[in-house]
Amino acid sequence: MARVVVDVMLKPEILDPQGQAVQRALPRLGFQGISDVRQGKRFELEVDGPVDAAALARIHELAETFLANTVIEDFVVKVEEVQETRKAEEAAK
Amino acid sequence: MTARIGVVTFPGTLDDRDTQRAVRVAGAEAVPLWHKDKDLKQVDAVVLPGGFSYGDYLRAGAISRFSPVMESVIEQAKAGMPVLGICNGFQVLTETHLLPGAMLRNNHLHFICREQKLRVENAETAWTADYTAGQEIRIPLKNIDGQYTADERTLDMLEAEGRVAFRYLDGNPNGSLRDIAGITNEAGNVVGLMPHPEHAVEPLIGTGRTDGLGFFTSILKKLVNA
């Protein structure tokens, strides 16, 4: 089993009012020197079976058609192996 | 024969009853459509009403776009069936790519609820024929994800083809590019707008005006004459 992470961000040219609101709150909280904040979404997909090229292609399609709206958003797909300890924990159950 | 106008209910839709009522006030038969059904019950047109379908999770309108009923709506819309998307319905129509562009959170991040002045820019769509181009109307507006956006090329194309159907007047409520409140597809059968005409069809409720009724009488006239 593996985990695939899909990160979705508004395209750089698209205004991000939520990120701006977070950024504007920072000086008030005593955090200086942060000139911009952009807010995105992270999806963690637990995949059954091997994450081979075919599986990745399917996930890419899923991200492109559903998780991201490519009119306004970019996305990145990354594979993260699930740690051995967690596998062992699950086996023990 | 009475025109049959379908009104789709998704989980989280809240303006379906008002929309059904507006359809009846205009003189047509309102046909409730359920999001899980592919069957459009032989309706002549479909309205996607306002609300928060699937809780607006992921993005407003994103999950509804893949519902069984939308498979049929998309297919029929492409074949020429009139479809009107109001507020969340407009968001669903951009997610389906039946209409170009996308909807972002309001630039001020506040939910907004007020009477909104609009100019009808295109009175030749299936849903606007009872208005005149340049006519100013006032109908309720209520949303948080109402900021219409598209790239410059798309905006120029919409302007050049007369596909900006409605523009905000007396102040842009949400940062929509070029004050766009609603647009139409190339054929004029698919229309989406953020403000709510279905809440302004009877003088006793809402704004006290009936400026929204024209949407529903327009489509009725079109279907009867067809």
Instruction: Split chain B (226 residues) into runs of 10 and give each run's mean pLDDT.
Output: 93 97 97 97 98 93 95 98 98 97 94 96 97 97 96 97 98 97 98 97 87 97 86
Q: In total, how many domains does chain B have? A: 1
Task: Look at A69 and B66 and tell me if their CB atoms are within 8 Å.
Answer: no
Closest to B49 measured CA to CA, from B98, B94, B8: B8
pLDDT reported for residue A3: 94
User: pTM for the complete prediction?
Assistant: 0.91
Nearest-angstrom CA–CA distance, A67 and A63: 5
Nearest-angstrom CA–CA distance, A84 and A91: 11
Nearest-angstrom CA–CA distance, B197 and B195: 7
Strands (E), chain A: 2-10, 41-47, 73-81
Domain ranges for chain A, please list them.
2-91
Q: Are strands B45-48 and B83-86 parallel, antiparallel or unpaired?
A: parallel
SS3 A24: helix
Domain that holds residue B59: 2-223
C-alpha torsion sign, points B124, B125, B126, B132: negative
Distance, first Cα to last Cα, chain A = 16
Contact B225, B45 (CB under 8 A): no
Nearest-angstrom CA–CA distance, B50 and B91: 9
Active site residue B186: no
Task: Look at A66 and B62 and tell me if their CB atoms are within 8 Å.
Answer: yes
Active site residue B198: yes
Task: Look at A17 and B62 and tell me if their CB atoms are within 8 Å.
Answer: no
Which residues of B are less than 8 Å from A17 in CB distance? 104-109, 147, 175
> What is the predicted ipTM?
0.83
Inter-chain contacts counted by CB atoms under 8 A, chains A and B: 34
**pLDDT tens-digit series, residues A46-92:** 999 889 999 999 999 999 999 999 999 999 999 987 655 555 566 66
| CATH superfamily of the A2-91 domain | Phosphoribosylformylglycinamidine synthase subunit PurS (3.30.1280.10)
Say which residues have a Cβ less than 8 Å from residue A84's Cβ, sequence separation at least 6.
Answer: none
pLDDT reported for residue B1: 66
**Looking at residue B94, which CATH number applies to its domain?**
3.40.50.880
Active site residue B152: no
